[in-house]
Structure 1
Amino acid sequence: MRFVALLSWIVFGLAFVLAARWPGLARILGGLSRQHRIHHIVGLATGLLSGIHLIHQIWKDPEVAFYFEDPFLLLGWIALVLLLIGLALSFAGRLHHRWWLILHWSLAAAYVAALVHGWGFLHFGRWHQALFWVGLGLGGLGLTLIFLYRWRGQSWVVQEVRNTGSGLWELILKPSDRKVVAPRAGSLIYLQFGSGFSAGWHPFSVASCRLSPELHVLIKNAGMDTSHLSDMKPGHILRLQGPFTEFQISDEPQLWVAAGAGLAPFLGMARCFDYAKAGSVELCLFEAHPEPTVEAELERLSNEHQEFRWKAHYGQAADFSVLREAATHRPNSRILICGSPAFMRKARKYLQSSGVQDARIHTEEFVPW
């Protein structure tokens, strides 16, 4: 059973690699949202393997398993408790960002405790040593990438802050370095707003074409930083991480489903119709009330590109019944969904219950449950 403990150690290290915002890794795994789903599954596997190891040790020798005077054994228990608390909270509802940070730093502490525990009980066999160092290498790589990308970013300059109405703002940015290429429409980026704002990184979808001379980001006025976007003036410096490719224009039929600021990736891709060949596209836009500025641009794009059609559906609660009809009329289309986490989960579940194959549905959800 020593190999079960070592396997849980390796999987634990892999979970940290999958937690890093590393564009290259996200590209290999098919997007950051899919990477985060795999990260959660690997975390669950770590908890399962650690539990099996614990049960075996208790069954083998309960007195030794609870001998807390041994510091190496005590650290093993601390690591397991922190890990299980972290896994339990990951099933909870939406966590405040501060608690989310505390949760993940506690898992880093659990990894360090597990490192000391494993070192204290490490067998001198060649394979045991090799597996231990593999786990340590993966964990070290993951933590290095997490720290590296937390403080790394490109500088971009605010050109304009545009109020599009009803709590939606559009940031228009240009890179400080002219050699920097703008992110692709539909990509996910992280922004740190800079002076006068918190040091946190915020995820947004790109709402402009890569060939555009500017980067457009559509933001909803809903958070501690985003509620003060009117204070941001032209010339303000902020930092950008990414891009992470999530949605892309395709020559196959697509059904786009958006709510609120979730319109951003689809607006960006629609703005690219002048430069990229696209199959037929239908946009179902869910809004609490009309957004004249945004809807005027969608209507213009629809008039200029016959392959693009859109329709808005108003109301405080989204009526997903319109999705069944749209998906039925487009049986071979890929369905892309973007909006709040709750909206995406409900839309996905409704489509699945309506008989739509899960392989056709793509969202920016960052958790699998």
Structure 2
Amino acid sequence: MKPQRWLPPALCLALPLAGMAWAWPVGLSPWRSVSILSAWAGCGALLASLVLMVRDPRFAAALGGLDSLYRWHHRSGTVGYCLLLIHPLALATDGLDESPQVAWQTLSPLAQDWPEWLGWLGLLLLMAGLASTFMPRLPYRRWRALHYLLGLGVLLGLAHLWAILGGSLGVLGAIGIALAALGWRLVVSDFGALARPYRVSAVRHPATDLVEVTLAPCAAALAATPGQFVLAAFGDGEGFHGCREFHPFTVSGIGPGGVLKLDIKALGPCTRHLQHLTPGVTLRLEGPFGDFLAAAGDGPQLWLAGGIGIAPFLAVLRSRLPAQPTHLIHLFRHADDAGFSDEIQALAAGSPNLSFVPVASGDSPPDIGPLLAAVPGLAGREAWLCGPPGLNAAASRALRRAGVPPEAIHFESFEFRS
């Protein structure tokens, strides 16, 4: 694990502990103390979740990568919501010592005033927003709209705190963190305030349901390197109206003057629409993010790509041929999906260090074991995997069985929502 990858979980632990330390109850009943501590721990976890959704290249690199940030964003938000659920239940349990009626009045919004209504409404919005994160097949626009409810739910929860406790230092600090994180995400990331303008200069279709676009910068270019990805929001052009949503795409080529190539597979409504891109379409880019292949060692390499997962390897090969023995396996379903096989075969023919194995697996999951068993000196290779989660998991298991140590297995997955 990269050293920076400890920072997101450390933040997810530090903010809840800080909230509990600040609000530590003295002289209260046990259940009321549990209620107070769970509320502040949940608030801290949700604040950590908001901070980890900030989408900035430098911030992401400092904390171990955008994938790590989003993974802990989801975990911290889930834990925070569960902790907040304990808050009213512990209060009601405390009321049971007096009478069941008091306990019920603690839980019933009808028996409470507007500060409590803010808290209940915040919990309901958190529930709706959090539910969307467990629905991977939910259309992106609907998922994003529901996800915004999480931020609104946190703000209502903080308003609940303000109404009850007033403008204390802890409440003001929590509100400041939430507003800063939400403001950055909304203005800078979602609205693209710092995004770089580009224009589509060329379009080609190397395979079925796949478009390769060449992008020329209209101002200062992004300093991308092979193995990184960008977030692109395509606008309008002659005969084309873009989705105007930021979606992640791996850079598949880097040219002089900041020119970038992206290969876009039709995997959803927006990417299917992007198959009709034309030269002249304007877009905005955020990034670059990621460091896939940046830490590759000097020893023999195994590269395994599934479908459009060939993109980061293609970017490396287009920039430089490998200096160490490199065995590249590209899995795709059918021959008309092999858009880059001829290009890579030509590169392999001119490089003694590159061997290339294209494999059409059909509609059934590929039998990855025999493919890997045929790789010369497999146990001594460093493995880099880029493909769907199922392929990465199956290949990782097969590699470990073949004697490749876990620390020599690196992978990048397609599953990513911004």
Matched position secondary structure for 2:302: strand
Higher relative contact order (CA 8 A, sep 6+): 1
Farther off after superposition, 347-356 or 48-57: 347-356
Task: Spell out the pairing of 1:320-331 with structure 2 (5 A cutoff).
Answer: 320-322=368-370, 324-325=372-373, 329-331=377-379
Partner of residue 94, structure 1? 137
- How big is each residue's C-alpha offset from its partner over 1:134-172, in whole Å with a ceiling of 9 and x where there is no partner? 322221121112112112211111111011022221101
Q: Secondary structure at the match of 2:319?
A: coil
1:183 — aligned with what?
224
Alpha-carbon deviation of 1:346? 5.3
Contact 1:162 1:171 in 2 (8 A): yes
Letter in 2 for 1:313: V
* Alpha-carbon offset, residue 347 of structure 1: 4.7
Displacement after TM superposition at 1:25 (Å): 1.7
Pair 255,52 (structure 1): closer, same or farther in 2 beyond 3 Å: farther
SS in 2 for 1:192: strand
SS in structure 2 of the partner of residue 306 of structure 1: coil
State TM-score, norm by structure 1: 0.86
- In the alignment, what sits opposite 1:192? 233
Matched, 1:251 2:297: yes
CA positional deviation for 1:366 = 5.1
Q: Contact between 2:293 and 2:384, CA under 8 Å: does it hold in 1?
A: no
Q: Please give the alpha-carbon distance, in whole angstroms, between the structure 1 residues aligned to 2:159 and 2:400.
A: 46
Q: Structure 1, residues 66-103: CA drift from partner, whole Å, max 9, x if none? A: 24132221221222233234334423343210221122
Residues 70 and 108 (structure 1), Cα distance of their counterparts in 2 relative to 1, 3 Å cut: same
Distance 1:41 1:323 in 2: 35
- Are 1:151 and 2:191 counterparts? yes
Say if 1:340 and 1:94 are closer, same or farther in 2 by CA, change over 3 A.
farther
Provide Cα deviations, 1:205-233, integer angstroms capped at 9, x if missing partner: 00013657521111113433333445432
Q: In 2, distance between residues paired with 1:193 and 1:296?
A: 29
Q: Which residue of the partner structure matches residue 134 of structure 1?
A: 173
Q: Which residue of 2 aligns with 1:83?
A: 126
Superposed CA RMSD in Å reads: 2.9
Check if 1:224 corresponds to 2:272.
no
Equivalent residue letter for 1:331: A
> Following TM superposition, by how much is the alpha carbon of 1:270 offset from its aligned partner in structure 2, in angstroms?
1.7
Q: Percent identity?
A: 28
Match of 2:412 among 351, 360, 363: 363
Say whether 1:22 aligns with 2:31.
no
Question: Residues 227 and 91 from structure 1, CA distance in 2 versus in 1: closer, same or farther, beyond 3 angstroms?
Answer: closer
CA gap 1:35/1:312 in 2 versus in 1, 3 angstroms: same
Decide whether aligned partners of structure 1 residues 180 and 101 sit closer, same or farther in structure 2, where only a CA change above 3 A counts: same
Tell me the distance in 1 between the aligned counterparts of 2:413 and 2:65. Answer: 9
Whether 1:306 aligns to 2:352 is yes
Q: Name which of 283, 289, 299 aligns with 2:334.
A: 289
1:65 and 2:106 correspond: yes
How far did residue 181 of structure 1 move?
Answer: 4.1
C-alpha distance in 2 between matches for 1:144 and 1:267: 37
Please tell me the residue identity of whatever aligns with 1:65: T
The alpha-carbon distance between structure 1 residues 58 and 334, as it changes in their structure 2 partners (threshold 3 A), is farther
Which residue in 1 is equivalent to 2:17?
none
Do structure 1's residue 237 and structure 2's residue 285 form an aligned pair? no
Q: Report the CA distance between 1:263 and its aligned residue.
A: 1.0
Q: Is the 8 A contact 2:379 2:403 kept in 1?
A: no
In the alignment, the residues of structure 1 paired with residue 158 and residue 264 of structure 2 have an alpha-carbon distance, to the nearest angstrom, of: 41
CA distance in 2, matches of 1:303, 1:113: 62
- Give me the whole-angstrom Cα distance separating, in 2, the residues matched to 1:72 and 1:167: 53
SS at match of 2:182: helix
TM-score, normalized by length of structure 2?
A: 0.77
The amino acid across from 1:130 in the alignment is L
Q: 1:332 to 1:83 in 2, by over 3 A?
A: farther
What is the alpha-carbon distance in structure 2 between the residues aligned to residue 23 and residue 327 of structure 1? 36
Matched, 1:120 2:168: no
Q: How many pairs are equivalent?
A: 361
- Cα distance, 1:51–1:326 mapped onto 2, change above 3 Å: farther
State the 1:241 CA deviation.
1.0
Q: 1:84 to 1:233 in 2, by over 3 A?
A: closer
Gaps of 5+ in 2: 1-32, 96-102
Is 2:309 the counterpart of 1:270? no
Q: In the alignment, is the contact (CA less than 8 A) between 2:155 and 2:178 conserved in 1?
A: no
1:154 and 1:73, CA in 2 relative to 1: closer, same or farther beyond 3 A? Answer: same
1:88–1:190 distance in 2 versus 1, CA, 3 Å:
same
Native 8 Å contact 2:217 2:258 kept in 1 = no
> Structure 1 stretch 249-258 or stretch 202-211: which is displaced more?
249-258
User: By how many angstroms is 1:310 displaced?
Assistant: 2.1
Moved more, 23-32 or 61-70: 61-70
Q: 2:214 aligns with which of 172, 179, 183?
A: 172
Of 221-230 and 308-317, the range deviating more from structure 2: 221-230
In structure 1, give the amino acid aligned to 2:313: F
